[in-house]
Structure 1
Amino acid sequence: MAWIAATLQRYPEIAIFLSLAIGYWVGGKSFKGFSLGAVTGTLLAAVAIGQLHITVSPNVKSVFFLIFLFAVGYGVGPQFVRGIAKDGLPQALFAVVQGLLSLGAAILAAKLAGYDLGSAAGLFAGSQTISASMGLATDAINRLGLPPDQTKVMLDAMPTAYAISYIFGTVGSALILATLGPIMLRIDLVAACKEYEAILGGSQETGGAGQAWHRYELRAYRVVPDSRVCGKTVSQVEALQPGDTRLFIERVRRGGTIHEATLDLVLQADDVVAIAGPRDQLVMVLGASDTAGRDVDGQAVAVHAARAVEVDDPELLAVQTEGVDIYVTGKSVHGKTLQELASLPLARGIYLLKIKRGPTETQIPVLPSTKLYRGDTITIVGRTQDTGAAAKVLGVLDRPTNMTDVAFVSLAITVGAMVGAIVINVRGIPLTLSTAGGALIAGLVFGWLRAIHPTFGRIPEPTVWFMNSVGLNVFIAVIGLTAGPGFIAGLQHLGVGLFLWGIMATSVPLILGMLIARYVFHFHPAILLGVCAGARTTTAALGMICDAAKSQIPGLGYTVTYAVGNTLLTIWGMVIIMILA
């Protein structure tokens, strides 16, 4: 054990990974539907390991915190503009209310417990998880003109009180918001997030990757003798379909050889053709289940059913297809209707799924009279060669990739953090977003820009998850390792009472805030808990809320309130000294 302790002290990076291993394992276990979650599990594991007095550079915490906040912003950026237009001002007002509740609860607890100024400031900073407030509190205490020895006692008490109250301030706020909140407010987070996403135009169409049902399919049919398609070219056969039907012959097997279908290729009896199109049209026009009435050419159903027989030909159907986004820049397609574009060669073999337009990514109906404009982002599906050919005319193709644009991520975080580092002094009060707030805003801005102009900055979804989850939990692990010894020492020095007062100062404002957000401000349930987490700047809670919601939508409520809450809670460090002094 002595060797293990010495090794962890010498190599603190091992302690971080050990905290993550235990935290994710413990957090993944559940008992009767309740689980701690990775965030809480990691924090508790780190506090326990931290009793070995492991020193970790605070830079590690800062780096991973910035990564986490950028990923949060990037993930919700596409919905941010729409969300801020809907609830921006009410969120800012709520953050002020929540900030006053937090300040009032800490002052009440300090008064009732009879704590000195240093302990009161530490209690506020820890219970509200706003370490920056201790800087202003320190300045305020130094300006009181007290004897040096009395000032030193107060300043020494501050970090101890902070360490004791911070543990529940982090874990407790996360549990209250992510676990108690939905129960108390009777919110189904998963359903609420799906509803809110649909309101903002982010609903997903049925079918696609990960689902058994697909709207567009490729199926194989054998051309029977005496079929009226025999002797006709591919273009002539495709033209036989009704006006609202879009079926395309992609490949042809003839005599054991597979040919890519060209418009002038003549079909023969016993050819096996691979036909692409919407599932319902394939069933209606070619399916054997069509047994009533007459076919599209007015001939008897028996003739219709006999012109092609569906077969299983895996090799023929092994066609590389893809769904891609295209940022429209082509002058030749600007202002043209979809009906006009459908007659152009670029439209053959591709299907239009979605059109997004403008800074709010407004969904445009896909109708024959709908016009396409430069700056639109469209989603199409088809063979790789067809989508590539269409993109050359339409604009810039954005294919999915496993590669992350690391240069973009690094530059975006740099710009955001540098903007956040700017401090503006207003009558001695420092106003700043902080580097963390700057990284969050950068994620929002660049995530939104990426959505409306998908020509740069791709971050695959698994990478965003990694930045979200691991970024947050490394940050939490460093906090736990650092605060662990102080937590135990603080309990011994100030007693369990301060820990209990910290619970009160953390819980009461949050519970009241959730009720006010629900019944006074009437925020949508999907963003309500994110609004409360942002106003209290409790990032750990946001992570747990998003996990519980199985969505990043709660983060939409975090951004505005975080900016306001971070500023107010920092200033309260000075205000609490002024009031209690």
Structure 2
Amino acid sequence: MAWLEHTLRQYPEIAVFLSLGIGYWVGGKSFKGFSLGAVTATLLAAIAIGQFGITISSNVKSVFFLMFLFAVGYGVGPQFVRGIAKDGLPQALFAVFQCLLCLVVPVAAAKVAGYDVGSAAGLFAGSQTISASMGLATDAINRLGLPADEAKRLLDAMPTAYAVTYIFGTIGSAVILATLGPKMLGINLVAACKDYESQLGGGTELGGAGQAWHQFELRAYRIATDGPVVGMTVAAAEASAPTGSRLFIQRLRRGGAIHEATLDSVLKAGDVVAVGGRREQLVALLSPKGNEVDDPELLAVPVEGVDVYVTSKAVDGKTLEELAHLPGARGIYLRRIKRGATETQIPILPKTKLHRGDTVTIVGRTQDTTAAAKTLGVIDRPTSVTDVAFVALAIAVGALIGSLVLRVGAIPLTLSTSGGALIAGIIFGWFRAIHPTFGRIPEPTVWFMNSVGLNVFIAVVGITAGPGFVTGLQQLGVSLFLWGIVSTSIPLIIGMFIAKYVFRFHPAILLGVCAGARTTTAALGMLTEAAKSQVPGLGYTVTYAVGNTLLTIWGMVVVMLIS
């Protein structure tokens, strides 16, 4: 043990990686559906390792925290801007009210309890499960001009308060929203979601990845001599399908030769046609009276499923029903819609609207998906290359702007380098959503910047605060935990009633709106499970973008209010 202590003091970088390794391993374990998560587990591991009295340069956490904040802003940028500017305004406005509640209640609790600035900032971060706020709170405390030992005492108190209040912050918020919320508001989630789906013209979506049943198929049929489509053009034959059916003739074999089907191709008796569409429609409409044949060569059509990043103004706000009638939609089927930084899955319903910044997965022939992608935006093909120049310069510009200080009398006003990086991420993330020709950051890289960037910051905080953690816990432990319950519960309960009676959100999305404003993904997971539907996610994305931004900034505001 003495050798380990000496080694970690001599090489503090080992302590950081040891904290991460233990944190991610323990945080990935779950018991009856609950897990600490990587952030809390890393913090606790770092606090334990920090008992050795290890010194780490503060520049380490600053670098990784700027990287993390930029990734957060980059991810939520498109939804944040759209939510503020367009039809998400009521949800965005509610998120502001919810975030104000989440600020006022913990600050009031800290003042009543008589906590210092560090404990107050930790109480806020833990009870609202917004660990990123501790970074801005750290900057704010360092700017108070306190003696070094006093500033260190306050900074060491922050992770103590965070660790004590975080557990209920996570579990409690999920239980309040997903279990108590429907009962308190008198909402039948399952019925409400079915009603919402019916309003959007939807039904149950079957099938999925990894299943033997495939939603979309391509089958070959021989046209009989007296077939109803004999003499019709391909366009007329496709239009003759019953309302609600989308069947497309992709190719045809005539006289032993294979031809690509065009809209003005005339069908003849004896032709073998390759027809694509939903399995249930092919079975119901063609199989009973069609002469299905096995023609591997005809069916050897290059088909792909690709992700398309929606950037077009022409399709922004359009329903899927409207988009299905566009020329570029021929032969294309929609498999998935993902929205926001959390990649919330949006139900595929006729009245569902597409927005810029959405990622849609489409299926069809390569030439059809390429044509559709030009209408919707750009194909987002998998790549491992990151535009590092864009990332580095954007963070540098944001941090430079954030470092500026405006003095109003004796009061210094500043975004701080952290706030500047966050704002830069939002702006550049939104700009890339409109012009995706530069600044690409692949999803795995965004995850790395988000998760590892934050957890390195948390590890350094925990290691530095380790020696004072036990003392702080002994002094404030029980009362801090109870005040954490108050700070978590009251804003959520008040927020739910405001969402119902003031903003009058539909019951199906109301609790999803609340979960997004509090950035509690665990609650959204419980809500969709209880609702047996993805509909609650429709209220999550805009409020998450606003909530994630404001709650992070509140870390600095808490310090200003308490100090």
TM-score by length of 2: 0.69
**Per the alignment, in what secondary structure is the counterpart of residue 322 of structure 1?**
strand
Deviation at 1:5, TM superposition (A): 3.4
Q: Does 1:518 align with 2:511?
A: no
Cα gap change, 1:158 to 1:78, in 2 (>3 Å): closer
1:528 to 514, 533, 538: 514
Give 1:477's aligned residue.
Answer: 459
Give 2:532's aligned residue.
Answer: none
Q: Does 1:309 align with 2:292?
A: yes
Give 1:28's aligned residue.
Answer: 28
Give 1:398's aligned residue.
Answer: 379
Deviation at 1:262, TM superposition (A): 5.4
Distance 2:51 2:44 in 1: 11
2:158 to 157, 166, 169: 166
Give 1:432's aligned residue.
Answer: 414
Larger deviation, residues 476-485 vs 178-187: 178-187
What letter is aligned with 2:27?
Answer: G
Deviation at 1:418, TM superposition (A): 3.3
Give 2:533's aligned residue.
Answer: none
Deviation at 1:454, TM superposition (A): 4.4
Cα gap change, 1:366 to 1:486, in 2 (>3 Å): closer
Distance 2:97 2:205 in 1: 38
Whether the 8 Å CA contact 1:327–1:455 is kept in 2: the answer is: no
Deviation at 1:179, TM superposition (A): 0.7
Cα gap change, 1:253 to 1:81, in 2 (>3 Å): same
Cα gap change, 1:430 to 1:93, in 2 (>3 Å): farther
Deviation at 1:380, TM superposition (A): 5.6
Q: Does 1:156 align with 2:177?
A: no
Give 2:90's aligned residue.
Answer: 86
Give 1:565's aligned residue.
Answer: 554
Cα gap change, 1:321 to 1:103, in 2 (>3 Å): closer
1:82-481 equivalent positions in 2, closer than 5 A: 83-84=83-84, 85-89=89-93, 91-92=95-96, 95-96=99-100, 98-110=102-114, 120-128=116-124, 129=134, 130-135=137-142, 137-139=144-146, 156-160=149-153, 162-163=155-156, 165-187=157-179, 206=205, 210=209, 212=211, 215-221=215-221, 223=222, 227=225, 236=233, 239-244=236-241, 247-251=247-251, 259=258, 261=260, 263=262, 273-287=273-287, 290=288, 304-305=289-290, 308-311=291-294, 313=296, 316-317=299-300, 319-325=302-308, 327-328=311-312, 342=327, 349-350=331-332, 381-389=363-371, 394=375, 397-407=378-388, 408-481=390-463
Cα gap change, 1:88 to 1:5, in 2 (>3 Å): same
Cα gap change, 1:475 to 1:271, in 2 (>3 Å): farther
Distance 1:521 1:395 in 2: 33
Distance 2:52 2:546 in 1: 39
Deviation at 1:167, TM superposition (A): 2.9
Equivalent pairs counted in the alignment come to 494
Deviation at 1:102, TM superposition (A): 3.6
Distance 1:549 1:66 in 2: 32
Cα gap change, 1:473 to 1:549, in 2 (>3 Å): farther
What letter is aligned with 1:322?
Answer: G
Cα gap change, 1:516 to 1:272, in 2 (>3 Å): same
Larger deviation, residues 273-282 vs 428-437: 273-282
Whether the 8 Å CA contact 1:77–1:446 is kept in 2: the answer is: yes
Larger deviation, residues 65-74 vs 243-252: 243-252
Can you give the 5+ residue segments of structure 1 that lack an aligned partner in the other structure? Answer: 111-118, 140-151, 291-303, 331-336, 357-361, 534-541, 575-581
Deviation at 1:36, TM superposition (A): 1.8
Distance 1:375 1:103 in 2: 35
Distance 2:494 2:266 in 1: 72
Whether the 8 Å CA contact 2:177–2:523 is kept in 1: the answer is: no
Can you give the 5+ residue segments of structure 2 that lack an aligned partner in the other structure? Answer: 125-133, 183-188, 315-321, 339-345, 504-509, 529-536
Distance 2:203 2:16 in 1: 38
Whether the 8 Å CA contact 2:165–2:480 is kept in 1: the answer is: no
**Per the alignment, in what secondary structure is the counterpart of residue 138 of structure 2?**
coil
Deviation at 1:545, TM superposition (A): 6.6
Distance 1:363 1:544 in 2: 19
Whether the 8 Å CA contact 2:46–2:459 is kept in 1: the answer is: yes
**Per the alignment, in what secondary structure is the counterpart of residue 80 of structure 1?**
helix
Cα gap change, 1:506 to 1:430, in 2 (>3 Å): farther
Cα gap change, 1:309 to 1:448, in 2 (>3 Å): same
Whether the 8 Å CA contact 1:69–1:436 is kept in 2: the answer is: yes
Give 2:507's aligned residue.
Answer: none
Give 1:53's aligned residue.
Answer: 53
Cα gap change, 1:29 to 1:275, in 2 (>3 Å): same
Distance 1:71 1:482 in 2: 25
**Per the alignment, in what secondary structure is the counterpart of residue 19 of structure 2?**
helix
Give 2:38's aligned residue.
Answer: 38
Whether the 8 Å CA contact 2:398–2:424 is kept in 1: the answer is: yes
Distance 1:13 1:236 in 2: 71
Distance 2:418 2:94 in 1: 23
Give 2:18's aligned residue.
Answer: 18
Deviation at 1:520, TM superposition (A): 5.2
Deviation at 1:50, TM superposition (A): 1.8
Deviation at 1:238, TM superposition (A): 6.1
Cα gap change, 1:182 to 1:322, in 2 (>3 Å): closer
What letter is aligned with 2:138?
Answer: S
Distance 1:453 1:7 in 2: 49
- Max Rg structure: 1
What letter is aligned with 1:556?
Answer: A
Cα gap change, 1:429 to 1:96, in 2 (>3 Å): farther
Cα gap change, 1:251 to 1:26, in 2 (>3 Å): same
**Per the alignment, in what secondary structure is the counterpart of residue 56 of structure 2?**
coil
Whether the 8 Å CA contact 1:517–1:528 is kept in 2: the answer is: yes
Cα gap change, 1:250 to 1:37, in 2 (>3 Å): same
Larger deviation, residues 36-45 vs 50-59: 50-59
Give 1:73's aligned residue.
Answer: 73
TM-score by length of 1: 0.67
